[in-house]
Amino acid sequence: MIASENRGRVLRRLFRRPLTVIGLFLILANIVMVLFAPVLSPYNPEEMHLKDRHSPPSMKYLLGTDFYGRDILSRIIHGSRISFTLGLSVVAGGLLFGTTLGLVAGYFGGRVDSLLMRVTDIFLAFPQMVFAMAIMSVRGQGFGNVVLALTLTGWTAFARLVRAEALSLRDLEFVQAVQSLGARTPRILFRHLLPNLMAPIIVQATMGMATPILTEAALTFLGIGIPPNVPSWGGMLSVDRDFMETAWWSVTFPGLAIACTVLGFNLFGDGLRDALDPKLRA
């Protein structure tokens, strides 16, 4: 239970692992790029310098240019906005829907639990990438469509996690006490059960940021994600995938941006889990 934890001790446990600090640094670096992209970018990300196509890294272009002569550093910085915003949107949508469904299933149990979990299993039966590709092929490219496609499968992790935790809490004395006082079900779910589930939810939300970022990059690389006119890391890989040998920088640096962002959330999520989950500390 987060409220009963000594914040100082939690923070010490969180940051005593070097890998957790590295993960936080990578996340903060991404946030800085998102917030200050216009200031940090040396060029307009859509500005073409056709005479400088596929220029290698230099003082003029720190990370080189792509096939159209666009500055790679500027496009990476602006592409972070797409990846980070999309990740937050998918996680927020999945958290809202999945947590609510998991609370209801875990609290009521029985047929309600069985029905809701079978619905969850149906969505889990489809690989997220395949499901997203099917939706994108019908609805077309676009940021909103990518968010919708990934949210429709991203909620299942929250639902299963919260359901399992709610099942273990519903028979405890504090829940029975508020039931005996005549508290209504929504109040029990969101005022008493949910606060006791925040630790695993926070961990899942942090680690869950990596999946939509990686999946969006894959969808855009395949040409069915973010439109080509919008700076995105997957789009950068798609544009220069045929020039890996002659212009390695045009795909290496966007690939590193994706890898570092995904790694950052995974490392920090692991640290959060170790710091907040009493079962893992035992």
What is the reported pLDDT for 1?
A: 45
Joined together, the tokens standing for residue 19 give: 């890998």
DSSP class of residue 87 equals H
Distances (CA, A) of 18 to 21, 24, 30, 278, 281: 5, 10, 19, 20, 17
- 219 domain-assigned: yes
Minimal CA–CA distance to 216: which of 80, 121, 123? 80
Planar angle of CA 68, 71, 77, nearest 5 degrees? 130
d(CA 184, CA 173): 17
d(CA 6, CA 22): 23
Q: Residue 211: which domain range?
A: 17-270
Q: For residues 32 and 84, is the Cβ–Cβ distance under 8 A?
A: no
- 247 domain-assigned: yes
The β-bridge partners of 204 are none
Tens digit of pLDDT at every position of the chain (282 positions): 444 446 677 777 778 888 999 999 999 999 999 999 999 999 999 999 989 999 999 999 999 999 999 999 999 999 999 999 999 999 999 999 999 999 999 989 889 999 999 999 998 888 888 888 888 888 888 899 999 999 988 899 999 999 998 988 887 888 888 878 887 888 888 888 888 888 889 999 999 999 999 999 999 998 888 988 889 999 999 988 888 888 999 999 999 999 999 999 999 998 888 887 655 444
Number of domains in the chain: 1
Q: For residues 26 and 84, is the Cβ–Cβ distance under 8 A?
A: no
- 207 domain-assigned: yes
What is the reported pLDDT for 5?
A: 47
- 282 domain-assigned: no
What is the reported pLDDT for 282?
A: 41
Question: What DSSP string describes 170-187?
Answer: TTSHHHHHHHHTT--HHH
Amino acid letter at 42? P
Question: Residue ranges of the alpha helices (H) in 36-127?
Answer: 37-40, 72-108, 110-124
Neighbours of 29 (CB within 10 A): 14
Find how far residue 267's CA is from the centre of its chain.
Answer: 13
- 10 domain-assigned: no
- 276 domain-assigned: no
Minimal CA–CA distance to 247: which of 71, 105, 67, 96? 67
- 278 domain-assigned: no
CATH code, 221:
1.10.3720.10
Q: CB-based contacts of 94: which residues, under 8 Å, 6+ apart? A: 151, 154, 155, 156, 157, 158, 208
What is the reported pLDDT for 173?
A: 82
Distances (CA, A) of 33 to 14, 29, 77, 109: 24, 6, 6, 45
- 170 domain-assigned: yes
DSSP class of residue 45 equals T
Amino acid letter at 211? T
